[in-house]
A and B are shown apart, each in its own frame.
Chain A
Amino acid sequence: MNDNSQLKSVLEKGDFAVTAECGPPKGADPGVVLKKAEILKGKVDALNVTDNQTAIVRMSSLAACSLLKTAGLDPVLQMVVRDRNRIALQSDILGASALGIRNVLCLSGDHQIFGNQPQALGVFDLDSIQFVQAVKAMRDEGVILGGETLTSPPNLFIGAAANPFADPLEFRVVRLAKKIEAGAGFIQTQCIYNLDRFETWLNMAVDKGLTEKTFILGGVTPLKSPGMAKYMKNRVSGMDIPDDIIKRMEGVPKDKQREEGIRICVETILRLKEMPGVKGVHIMAIEWEDAVGEIVEKAGLLPRPVFS
């Protein structure tokens, strides 16, 4: 594998990119990460590693990314600003680059109250946009916050998240513009089930010329059951699941529900592929990595490009 971001190479070449998600274990066993790597190798261009997602303590994203890297995958290091101040964040950025990690996704993070450490102090020293800007300055100008020079800059493809389904809609595009201005080279969106709302948001972004300035990857999550859909709709804020999707899941027998979830997911990807301005897809199959290969195959996205 070369020393560049595989994800960046695919996007720049103009291929429709595919990324997936890898949640690190609630334990210290590297085997769990390597097993996920094995399942997903060759199916995706890059693999996001979540950073203590929903504020639940897990193996560090940096360590899991490093394991993926040695297994020959292109990891995307997710970093949230919830747990680390600007000193720790910048330090981890340097460490990540030194370990050969070439992608970073800068996020605010779920609030600590949602996880298994609700008594923790939420740091939020920088916000996600300021963090993107800081990483860009480190990479492009070789300086840290405050202006001091680095002996050598990190080499990272910088990404951020966008939620087209949160409110207020008009301001969602302003925020996207700010993330791009800050330095986000790619954007991964919240899970898309409401394609109409997504298109409204996307068209606003296209009108502002934003889709020319960054690579937008649409987020998708295959549903396992109508229960999961309802849970996400009601309990995860900023998640928009239209009733007809839930009805569709309810309309099939229990043993066919996973299949239906995968079908919906594939249909969504095919629609996304047709939308100008969408440059790839990010598949978040939570603890269901096996589904990714099937989805990618059914969406006609195999084989993945290889660069020498």
Chain B
Amino acid sequence: MITAEQKPIDEIREMIAPYKKILALGCGSCVAECASGGEKETGMLASALRMAAKMNGEDVRISEMTIDRQCVNEFVIQLDDVIDQYDAILSLGCGAGVQAVADMFPEVPVIPALNTEFMGETKGQGLWVESCLGCGDCMLYDFAGVCPLARCSKHLLNGPCGGSVDGKCEVNPEVPCAWQLIIDRLSKFGALDRLEKIYPPKDWSKKQGAGPRKIVREDQQR
């Protein structure tokens, strides 16, 4: 999933200051799972903003609404019926959601309420961790299911570096060294010899070779 965290309320208030009729727009997918932009969080943010406006004697109307996926046009189109009532949208979608809404409604300002963080996993109550950079050429087979790009602080493909001690990363002793994990897992499969050959430099053109990436699937285009 894509993870995100809410921006500080003061930053949000500054961005919405010029507008009087605002729709706080939640998203029911990833950001709901990571408790930053789902229906519940959208309701809470909208009330907090209304409260702050009231205390400061500001004349604004803030409504709320949550759609299933802000990053999919089929869902964004639901806004068609209500959009005219607002002079700005405060999106609690991820960066992709914000842009999908902005793309569909070019005449309405769309303001991000979240800081989009990473592609990751829900590890437990209130804990999310980064696990994929979307490099476009997955190497998880070679590295026993541990991504050295997302989880090694130096993106090493021939690790571990000289700072790996007691299974912890030199950059942050709270964080496990990805390379220790790779070695541990490969040795469980009896496949440590996979690490004896020099892993070649990464082909970054698959990630950022020619600007923004696009997937075209003709079989899906009917």
Instruction: Give chain A's interface residues, CB within 8 Å of chain B.
Output: 82, 86, 108, 111, 113, 122, 124-130, 133-134, 145, 161-163, 166-168, 171, 174-175, 177-178, 181-182, 190, 237-238
Contact = CB atoms under 8 A, between A and B. Distances in A.
Contacts of A113: 171
| Range class of the B interface residue count | 20 to 34
Contacts of B173: 237
Given A174-B196, A237-B170, A130 B162 contact: no
B115 interface: no
A111 B154 contact: yes
A167 B198 contact: no
A177 B183 contact: no
A108 B156 contact: yes
Contact of B165 (A133, A134, A167): A167
A237 B159 CA distance: 15
B122 interface: no
Nearest to A131: B201
B200 A130 contact: yes
Interface of B: 153-167, 170-171, 173, 177, 180, 183, 195-196, 198-202, 204
Given A167-B165, A171-B160, A175-B158, 19 more contacts: A108-B156, A111-B154, A125-B202, A125-B204, A127-B158, A127-B159, A130-B157, A130-B158, A163-B163, A166-B162, A167-B167, A171-B183, A174-B196, A177-B196, A178-B196, A178-B198, A182-B198, A238-B162, A238-B164
Contacts of A128: 158
A167 B200 contact: no
Contacts of B160: 166-168, 171, 175
B165 A127 contact: no
Contacts of A145: 201
A238 B163 CA distance: 5
A182 B204 CA distance: 21
